[in-house]
Structures are given as C-alpha cells and as structure tokens.
Structure 1
Amino acid sequence: MHDLLQQDFGLITELIREHAAQAPTRRALVEGERTLTYGALDALMNRTAAALQRDGVQVGDAIAICASPSIEYAAVFLGALRAGVAVAPLAPSSTPESLLRMAADAQARLFFLDAGVAAALDAAPTPATAAPVPRIALDGSSAGGALHDWLAPEGATPARANIRPDTPFNIIYSSGTTGEPKGIVQGHGMRWAHVQRGDQFSYGPNTVTVLATPLYSNTTLVMFFPTLAFGGTVVLMPKFDALGYLQLAQAQRATHTMLVPVQYQRIMARPEFDRFDLSSFLFKFSTSAPFSAALKADVLGRWPGGLIEYYGMTEGGGTCILEAHLYPTKLHTVGRPAATSDIRLIDDEGREVPRGEAGEVVGHSPGMMTGYHGQPGKTREAEWFDPAGKRFIRTGDVGRFDEDGFLLLFDRKKDMIISGGFNIYPSDLEAVLREHPAVAEVAVVGVPSEAWGETPVAFVVGRPGSDTKADALLQWFNGRVGKTQRLAALQFIDELPRSAIGKVLKRELRERYAAP
C-alpha cells in the first residue's frame, strides 16, 4: 500500500479497493450506530459506479449531491469517483435558487439529495431555464427515486474508467448563498497530492478521524480522503454540538480530527472539558478561518496530541502549515510553506515585494485547481504568473513573512479598510478588542464615510455576565489606538453571522450597519 502512495499519480478509489481486499471487515465509515466495513464500502462503490455507467454518465460528467453527511452520501461520492464522474457537493444552507443554479452550472446528470433539501427545492419557483434532473433520495424518503432501487445489483462490477491527473474529481462552489456560482474544479492529481502528504501525520489503519464539518466543504474533504486512502476509519457527526463531540471522540478513541476555530472555541469553553479522556488523539487540525493565538495555546495546553493549522484555499496554489505543538512561539502565524509549495507576496502592480514587506499572498504547488468551471475570465483573474511563466493562484489575503519564514496574515485584501488614505487591517483592531475581559468574539468591518471614504465599526459578542456598555468599550478601545485606527461605532450583538464552516460573514455585518 505504501508503494502505491509513492507513485506520482494514483487513484484514491484504488487504495480503498486494496484495503477491502486485505481487510474487508475493518471499519471504513461510522455514522451514529451504523458502521460500513471496507468490504461493504467497496461493493457499494462498485454498485454506484456501475449504475452511473448504465445510465450513460461518462468520465468527466458530473453529479450533484446535497444532503446531510451520511454513509450513503460518502459511498455515492466515492462510487462516482471510481467511474471517473466528478462530484459537485452542494451546501444545503444555500437558497433553492442557488442550488438549482449550481447544479445547472455543473451540468449535473443526477441530483442526490435528502428530504430536507427536497422540501426547500419544492417550495421555491423553478426557473424556466432549469432543465429537469433526475433525483435520487439518499435517506429513504420520497425526495426522489430510492437509492437501493437505482443502484446496480449486488455483485456488479463497473468497467474500469480512464482517469488522468486532470480528470475532474470534484467541483466545489465558493458562492452558495448569493451571487453567481463559482465552481472550483479540482482534478484527481490535486487530490492525490493532498493524500500523499498524509504520511507525515500518522495516518494508517488504526486512524479514527472524527469529522463534524459538512462533506460539501473542502475543510472536511482534506481529511476525509487521506483517512480512507490510508485504511483508517471516518466517524461522521452530521450535526455538531460541543458536548456531543466530546462524548463521541472519547467513545470512538479518536486519533485525528478537523475542526474550524469556532468549534474549538465552543469545545474548550465546556466546563466539563477536562473530565473527558482524549488521550487517544495524535493530531488535531484546523483551517478555513482565523485561529487566534490564545485559543491555539489553550488547545495545546489542555488537549493531548499535536495541533496542525493549514492555511490555503480550496482553489489550491499553496499551503502553509503551522505545527503549533513544535513552534509554540509562532502561534500568531499560519506557519511556513509546505515542502511542495512556493508562496510569494506581490504588490498591487503584480510585482514581488522585498522580504519583510507586506503583500498579497500567491501560491504554487502540485495541488492547484484546473480553473473555475465554465468561467475562463474568472480563472484568469485568480492567476498570477512570475517572470518565468510559473503559474500561481492569488489568495486575496495580505500577509508578511517574519525573519524565520513564518507567514503572518493581516486580512483579506477586500476587507482592508482605506480611511483617509491610510490602510487599516481589521485584524489589528480585533486583536486589541479581544484584550478586554468583556469581549468574547469580535469582527471589525469598514463602512462608507463622507469624511474619510471608509471608517471602521466593530460588532462584539459579550462574555456572559458582563455589564460593560458599548459606549464604555468604544471609549476604552479608542484610547488605546492611533487616531487613524479609531472606531466610528461599536455594537453588541448576540452572535456573529457565520458560514457553515465558521467563517464570519462580514458582508452581512456591513449590510446590518447600513440598514435603517
């Protein structure tokens, strides 16, 4: 098995086939009280791939999946990959109109869904241009045709698909709530590169990975596929809650997990956290949103096992890795470029900046998207080429390398506030506000200003029991920063709006401030 992973290119589905042959009774997938062994998973993947081939779905075609995480969801995803069919995993939290647009954009031949998604779609008007797509219900409901009826018969074997590194593996949509969908096409070669780096993080047959983020998210998939490629067990937690997560991780003797920072925050805040036995953990991972140094330190101090932060994009390009347990003085950074990544910083004119200066982060690696599906113009906007013609992906983030080569991030370029000609990074202001004992969470955004062009305002979630008033906190903050960084306003709110993987939706905060 190790020899297969040394190849420049291979197929994750072939690795699963090997595990099924060598250890058919080993657990592959766990969901609640249900378990699917490698032998049963491999057979279900075969039946899925054979059914797609029977229905005329070709290599390079796509299917859409939109449902809560489940064993069936995972098996259909993997079975489609075996047939060389790309998967477009869609977010159930998207509006029905967006779901239909994304499925149409992917040119999905089939739509796999559950009852909740079907109810939302059926309640919304169907665009006149939307072509009907056959629906298959993953959950035994009346959302579509029954999965067990659609699958090829037991024992079916699909024809071997001709899959190359650039064959589309999945199409992940970065705009699922508003605006036009933008499908990120990742090839089989990109996913193979992700799997190969798993060797350095102790993946193997004894791995038990607990996943409490959705299967449509690249955050989840960067651990889902390596776990199965190395013969481990994936434990799916369809709906996250902090106490339930701790109970599940202890019961399953979890060794690996992927959590976004807000999930770590909620878990660490549980008063009974220290009573749980988490000694089985080898590695914990995080990505997708800013991870404060203080929270990293808390996780390191109280939760056994290493802590790894990935910084990168679904589009790929480059990855920085912070091995927090090895570099406790670098928790304010996102780590150093991975061995196979070339990370550079450029200015507004597309020129590389001198060492030590800030610039937009661009990256090159073996794991890069083919492009945005059907949008060559958007693809070109996301690319930067160095003078030698080497292709990089632009992140839109602003950062700076320290003297040891660790990357410090300031903000998304689009979130940077230009006030009176001065550049203001919201993360700098948020860091000051977090020092106040009344502040649990905070987000700073720029809003229009007649006098300054833009001006910063803050939205704060207070700590339970605090009676600090907004005016007092505003005065406290403005007394600690320079004149150009002072807040124009500060509001307490019950919670920050977040995406399903924990990213603060600053656009919604700007709209909230602008609303009468």
Structure 2
Amino acid sequence: MSPADLLAQPFGTLPALIAAHAAERPDHVALIQGERKVTYGGLDALMDRVAAGLQRDGAEPGGAVAACALTSIEYVAAFLGALRAGVAMAPLAPSSTPESLAGMIADSGASLLFLDQGVSEQLEGVSGQISARPVALDGSDAGEAFEAWLPPAGSKPEPVEIQPDWPFNIIYSSGTTGAPKGIVQSHAMRWQHVGRGPAGGYGPDAVTMISTPLYSNTTLVCLIPTLAGGGTAVLMEKFDVVRFLELAERHRATHAMLVPVQYRRLMEHADFDRFDLSSFRMKFATSAPFSAALKADVLKRWPGGLIEYFGMTEGGGTFILAAHEHPDKLHTVGRPAPGHDIRLIDEEGREVPVGEIGEVVGHSPAMMNGYHNQPGKTADAEWRDASGKRFIRTGDVGRFDAEGFLTLMDRKKDMIISGGFNIYPSDLEAVVAGHEAVAEAAVVGAPSNRWGETPIALVVLRDGAAIEAEALRAWANERLGKTQRLAALEILPSLPRSAIGKVLKRELRDQYAHLVRD
C-alpha cells in the first residue's frame, strides 16, 4: 500500500508509513546527524532489526522499553523499531536525578534501557535499582553495544498487528511539582498528529530541524509528521544558536519546532540576519509562554509562517495560533483546533461564560489513556460535563474573547492570592518586561504574614543593560495596581529552566521566599 493510501485510512501506524516510504523512495534521506545520513530504506531495515531483537529477547506487544540518551540516529531507530514490535517507548530525560530515573524505569516496566555513556555514569549510584538490560546507543561500555545487540543485517521481525489503543509511548512529566507521572499515549492519539501533518506543510520534500530532545512531546509532534510524510529530519544532539542557523541554511530547512527561549536566543544573536533562511515554510512553538513582542519579531525577520500550539502532553485539547494570519492576536494562544471541545470552568467545576476567567479543560480525539499505574491521579486530571463527556484538566487559567481566541493567564498553581485578591503573575511579568533594560521576568508568590502571599519578581537584564533592583521595582510598582505591587525584586544572571525551556517557578519560590520579611 502506498503512503498516500495509508494516510487516507482512519487509522494507521508510523512504522507502516515508513515501510511504505522505503518501498516507494528507498534512497530518500530520512535522518541526518552531523555528516551521517540514513535513507528510508536504511531506516526501515534498521527498524526491522530492532523489532526482531526485542522479539528475540522476549519483549511482548503492549510492553515497554526505555531510552535515556542524547538525540541520535540510533535513538530514533530504537524508538521506531520498538513501535514496529508493538512495544511502547518510555523516553526519559537525562537531566532527571538518578533516583528519579531509576523510579521511572521501574514504573514503566521497561525490560531494556537504551542509553549512552553520559547517562550510564549518572546512574552508577542507583544501578542496583535498575533491572532493565542496558544497551549502549553510542557503542560505549555503558552496556552491550547497540550494533552488537542488533540481530544480523537483513533480519525481519514477526509481523505485529498494532491496535489503536495500544500504548505508543509513556512520556513522564517533569516532576517539578512532585513525582513524575507516566503519560500513556496510544497509537490512535499519535495518528491524529500524523493526520494534521499536511496542514502544517509536511510532505516528502520537508526538511525539519529537530533541536529539542526526543523525550519531549514537543519534539515528537514535529518528528512524527515529518517521517510520516516522507520528509527529512535533521537531528541536533544539543541546541546551539549558531549551529542551528548553519544547519538550517546548509540543508535548506523548511520546518522547525522550537520553544520560546530558543526563539529568543536566535533572534537576539548578532548574526541572525546574515543567514539565508528563505527555505522555511513553517515554524512551530509550544511548551512555554511566548510573548507577543517575540512573535512579532519572528514574523518580521524570519521567512515562513509561525504557528503556536498550546496544549498538554496529556492531550484533551489544543489551541492553534497561526500568527502570520492573525497578527492582531499575538497576545493569545489562538483558537481550539478543529474537533477539539474546550471549555473554561470555575473552582466548583461549573462552566463560565465568555469573557470570564476559568480553568481550561478539553476533549479531543488526541487524549492520553491515563497516567501509568496511577488511576487516582488519572481521575484527578479529568472533568466530565453534564452528559458524562470526558475532558482533561490543564491546570491553566485563561479567558476567551468574543472571537474564540484564548488569552492565557497562568498556571492555576502559580496564581497568587494576596489579601484575598487573585493576582496573575503573567500580568505583572508583562509590566516588568516592558522596561527597556529587562530581557525576561518571572513573578512568583512568597509567603507573607500580612497578606498570605505577596508577589516578588526575578529578573534577567538585557546584555549591556544596567539598573538597580530597587529602582526597577519602583518603576514597575508605579505601573501596577495597588494589590499587584511587588514586595521584592531580584536581578539574576539567568532563570532556572527545564531542559525543554520552561521556567521552574517552584525553584524560584523555594529559593527566594526569604526576600519577603513582614
């Protein structure tokens, strides 16, 4: 069956699509890493060997393997080969603590762990807690070398008929607000991402920059449609501004998925405008707040469209802002994607009318099965309307305008309640960031004897800018409402971030609560 015929089906699988592309265009390049290239024919054969190796080792459909390593051709092949065997992949963040990694490996039930030297060294202290068999993707002594583990060239797995509800992957939450939760996503959910690929301009001639890590859903929602469409993915082990620009220019990149902090670093680079980026058709953003000013700068100076996605790894509902089509809505995260039912609810779980603030809940064809081994937390993440329809709670607070665009306020847990008033940190951050000396700002709540909580700001200045913290606080407080005024402001060299670029506000609250003394 041709790729076009497969894509026209209500349900299909990514491994089947890659096999179809390999049959139709075996010499077309699928993956690039540095000077290495793998064609669709080569990728398909490598996936067969991985799937056959897993079957040889007793991995069963519906089971899981784990991977924790830097992005590489071998990592992608291991991921896709596992899928071909009907085995889910649990991609894990190397930036996690050793104890957390050991816990996630155990929770996933992984029989095998694909890793590299760096991760192996990190796990030395907890190796006794890990029963999964190690296989070294980089050929190091971190485990059995990947090439040695693989069955001989030409090996074929036993065919597996993948069912829509089988797990595709288990993605673990960052754990910044507690123990990481395994988010189980099905093949049916991922097929939805495949289906929206053509609307994003993905196709056989697409060349996509992959510069975020493979354990992130952010990366997968870009990598999956690229390979499903028969395009080429350019893999970066780690993001570097100049390297990204050089590779994008060299390979005539057409697509990229970047988080907002990456966009900021790219646009601020002195040599950005000298690179030829005219091949770009579409750029995507997700995972963190994306300021209207930065979106406008990207639209002005970087060819091609810009689409922002707002949603959760758990699924439930996605907002899409085609910034190039709605330059007057850059302060929003867009409107619900087609077929996505998204509503706002209050503290009692009642829907709120247009124009009022509420928590975002969503229902869509792309929803997680649930949290792995945690039915209680799964139930806590769900809301049902009067008809019993299942929605996923996002924990984000926002407001719809009359045209159906959502203005996002904050994470519900980040809202500050001071003296009985609800204070949305994003409102304060926008004011502080309006000062010409400020590159970025984060506002969090600190304990206050007088008010319960009170807002404090942590600020990073622009290169070469100088202002005293107290002077900046006074400037901001002149522009803030009486209940919003900052109790303290600290200037930092940088803000703590997760590997995917999210500001770690819990760390800021814990570290700087002492700034308030009342």
The alignment's TM-score, normalised by the length of structure 2, stands at: 0.98
State the match for 1:211 in structure 2. 210
Q: CA deviation at 1:176?
A: 4.6
Distance in 1, matches of 2:99 and 2:159, equals 36
Paired with 1:466 and 1:175, the residues of 2 have a C-alpha distance of 33
Within 2, Cα distance between the matches of 1:37 and 1:515?
Answer: 56
- Check if 1:200 corresponds to 2:202: no
- Cα distance in 1, alignment partners of residues 455 and 76 from structure 2: 43
Secondary structure of 2:250's partner? helix
In 1: Cα distance, 2:53 partner to 2:210 partner: 28
Q: Is the CA contact (8 Å cut-off) linking 2:62 and 2:87 kept in structure 1?
A: yes
Aligned position for 1:73: 75
Alignment match, 2:415: 416
Residue in structure 2 matched with residue 485 of structure 1 by the alignment: 484
* Match in the other structure for 1:260: 259
CA distance in 1, matches of 2:300, 2:98: 44
| TM-score when normalising by structure 1 | 0.98
1:442 and 2:441 matched:
yes
Aligned sequence identity (%) = 68
Equivalent runs, 1:110-149 vs 2, <5 Å: 110-122=112-124, 124-126=125-127, 130-149=129-148
Shifted more, 41-50 versus 195-204: the winner is 195-204
For 1:306 and 1:513, the matched residues in 2 are separated by: 39
Cα distance change of structure 1 residues 175 and 467 upon mapping to structure 2, 3 Å threshold: closer
Greater shift, 86-95 or 143-152, is seen at: 143-152
Task: Rate the CA distance shift 1:20–1:261 in 2: closer, same or farther, 3 A.
Answer: same
* Within-5 A mapping of 1:272-283: 272-283=271-282
After TM superposition, give the deviation of residue 500 of structure 1 in Å: 0.7
SS of 1:479's partner is helix
Which amino acid in 2 is paired with 1:336? R
The partner residue of 2:84 within 82, 86, 93 is 82
Q: CA deviation at 1:340?
A: 1.7
Task: Give the C-alpha shift of residue 455 in structure 1.
Answer: 0.3
How far apart are the structure 1 equivalents of 2:61 and 2:395? 33
Deviation at 1:164, TM superposition (A): 1.0
Do residues 163 (structure 1) and 162 (structure 2) align?
Answer: yes
TM-aligned CA deviation for residue 512 of structure 1: 1.0
CA distance in 1, matches of 2:49, 2:135: 14
Are the aligned partners of 1:85 and 1:169 in contact in 2 as well (CA < 8 Å)?
A: yes
Residue 499 of structure 1 corresponds to which residue in structure 2? 498
Q: What amino acid is aligned across from residue 231 of structure 1 in structure 2?
A: G
Task: Work out whether residues 459 and 493 of structure 1, in 8 Å CA contact, stay in contact via their aligned partners in 2.
Answer: yes
Aligned 8 A contact 1:99 1:176 in 2 = no
State the 1:132 CA deviation: 2.0
Report the counterpart of residue 225 of structure 1 in structure 2: 224
Match of 1:93, SS state, is: coil
Q: Counterparts of 1:229-248 in structure 2 under 5 Å? A: 229-248=228-247
Residue type at the aligned position of 1:381: D
Q: Structure 2: any 5+ residue segments left out of the alignment?
A: none
1:190-239 CA-partner distances (Å, limit 9, x unpaired): 00011101111111110000011000000000010100000000000111
The one-character-per-residue Cα deviations of 1:358-405 (angstroms, maximum 9, x if unpaired) are 100001110000000000000000001111111110000000111111
Q: Does 1:46 align with 2:45?
A: no
Deviations 1:45-101 (A, max 9, x none): 000001111111000100000000000000000000000000000000011111100
Deviation for aligned residue 1:466: 1.9
CA deviations 1:82-134 (Å, max 9, x no partner) are: 00000000000011111100000001000110000001111x2456xx35221
**SS of 2:471's equivalent?**
helix
**Could you say which residue in structure 2 is the equivalent of 1:61?**
63
Distance 1:19 1:356, change over 3 A: same
Letter in 2 for 1:135: P
Q: Amino acid of the residue matched to residue 380 of structure 1?
A: A
Aligned to 1:31: 33
Partner of 1:306: 305
Which whole-Å deviations, capped at 9, do the CAs of 1:274-306 have from their partners, x for residues lacking one? 111100000000000000000000000000000
Unaligned 5+ segments in structure 1 are: none
Please tell me the residue identity of whatever aligns with 2:74: E
The Cα shift of 1:438 comes to 1.1
Three-state SS of the structure 2 residue aligned to 1:194 is helix
What is the CA-CA distance between 1:179 and the residue it aligns to?
3.5
Residue identity in the other structure for 1:500? A
Structure 2 residue aligned with 1:104: 106
